[in-house]
Amino acid sequence: MIGYILRRVCAMALTFWAMTFVAFLIMELPPGDFATTRVSEVSAAGAKIDPAMVERLREMYHLDAPLLERYAVWFGGVLRGDLGYSLAYNTPVNQLVASQLPNTLLVEGLTLLFMYAVAIPIGIYSAVRQYSAGDYVASIIGFIGVAVPSFLFALLLMWVAYSSFGVVLGGLQSQEYQGAAWSWGKFSDLAAHLWAPILVGGAAGMASLIRVTRANLLDELDKPYVTTARAKGLPEWRLLLKYPVRMAMSPLVSSIGWLLPSLISSATVVAIVLNMPTLGPLLLTGLLVQDMFLAGGVLVVMAILTLIGTLISDVVLFWLDPRVRVSAA
């Protein structure tokens, strides 16, 4: 087990380096840089621009250094835990990430829990009761969930909340609780804001989870070991959960790794629509204004989350699936 984890961690370090390098290269691809974006933003606002300003900005931010040199400086900082300095916000990226990461983990963690808690039981139900009325209802809802883009769902939800209830969804807190100490009032205010992103984020992922669980379980249900266990007289629900469901979970578990970053990146659009104080909007701003350090910093955090997620799924699989144990040993 220890050796297995060690090997995984070594591979992770290399993957991490590769991810940062590729991310940096891709961010470099669009024409222009932070200085030109800044200048065209200012002139779009209507202000007159001093052409020398581009050069002054470029020189101060060292944007004129060669690509590899800038990457080396940045990556050196990342290794020391310093994500650099956001040019767009004149703030250390660490500070920006530190302020949005807890919100992000809270929203995405709860979304994940919500997804699993709802989708897996429904998936099991629709596999066991295949072609029943309940299975059809679950499938239809599932397909609608897959088909409707989550930003559209968010927009519809916002419009319904506004036009029917006079409520504007958005953000994570009300003004009176900004910066206030935790209290029951602040907690219930947070809860009142949280349900919308969880519902929207959950709905999209839930549908595919239902389908995957259902399909996996259907594969297992006809296997001889199920018949054997049933012949031995195990109660039906206990049998289900102990053997075929456990097997059907393997593909789901192995996808935890990429679920975390995909939640964050797919949630970017939803976070913009719902005005969430999470990492997604920071990433988008960073990319739009070509603030390499901000965008790069968020991508580093996402890379780390992916790697941690992959490690978790590897470890859980190791524990869950004897076949993995055998091949790893």
Partner 1 sequence: MADRLPANPRVITPVESIGTYGGDLNLALRRGDGTHLLRLVGYEGLFSWDLGWKEMLPNLAESYEVNEDATEYTFTLRKGVKWSDGSPFTTADIAFAYNDLLKNPDWLGARPDYIAVPDDTTIEVVDDFTYKVKLAKPNGLYIFQLTNVDGTQLALFNKAYCSQFHPTYNPNANADAVAAGLADWRALFEQKCAEMGGEQRWMNPERPVLEAWMVETPPTATAEFSIFTRNPYYFKVDTEGNQLPYLDRLNFAMSNAGPDMILRAMNGQVDFQDRNINPASQKPLYLENAEKGGYHLVDEVPSNMNVMLVMFNQTVSDPVLQEIFSKKDFRVAMSLATDRQEIIDTVYVGQGQFHQAAPRPESKFYDESLATQFTEYDLDKANSMLDALGLEKRDGEGYRLRSDGKRLSINVETFDTARPDWVDNLELLKAQWQKAGVELLVKVVDRNLVDEHRRANLHEMHVWGGDGGLDVVAAPHYYMVASDESAFGVPWYYWFNDNAAPGAVEPPDSVKKQRELYDQLVQTPTTEGQDALMKQILEISKDDFYVMGISLTGKGYAVVKNNVHNVPPSQPAAYTYPTPGPMQMAQIWKSE
Q: How far is CA 162 from CA 98, 150, 169, 315, in A?
A: 32, 18, 8, 45
Residue placing its CB nearer to partner 1 in the complex, 280 or 309: 280
Residue placing its CB nearer to partner 1 in the complex, 53 or 137: 53
Residue placing its CB nearer to partner 1 in the complex, 101 or 312: 101
Distance CA 188, CA 94 (A): 29
Residue placing its CB nearer to partner 1 in the complex, 155 or 320: 155
Which 3 state secondary structure label does DSSP give 178?
Answer: coil
- Compute the least distance from the CB of residue 188 to partner 1, in Å: 17
- Compute the least distance from the CB of residue 37 to partner 1, in Å: 6
DSSP structure class, residue 100: H
On whether the CB atoms of residues 49 and 43 are closer than 8 A, the answer is yes
* Residues 6+ away with beta carbon under 8 Å from 35: 53, 54, 55, 57, 58, 61, 63
Distance CA 39, CA 54 (A): 7
Buried (b) or exposed (e) across 78-92, using 16+ Cβ within 10 A? beeeebbbbbbbeeb
Distance CA 146, CA 227 (A): 34
- Compute the least distance from the CB of residue 98 to partner 1, in Å: 9
On whether the CB atoms of residues 291 and 41 are closer than 8 A, the answer is no
What residues line the site for partner 1 (CB under 8 A)? 30-32, 36-37, 40, 42, 44-50, 53, 56-57, 60-62, 85-86, 88-92, 96, 99-100, 155, 158-159, 162, 166-173, 175, 178-179, 271-275, 277, 281-282, 284-285
Residue placing its CB nearer to partner 1 in the complex, 66 or 166: 166
Residue placing its CB nearer to partner 1 in the complex, 139 or 275: 275
* Residues 6+ away with beta carbon under 8 Å from 233: none
Name the token pair of 202: 């959950």
- Compute the least distance from the CB of residue 180 to partner 1, in Å: 12
C-alpha 225, offset from chain centre: 37
- Compute the least distance from the CB of residue 45 to partner 1, in Å: 4
- Compute the least distance from the CB of residue 109 to partner 1, in Å: 19
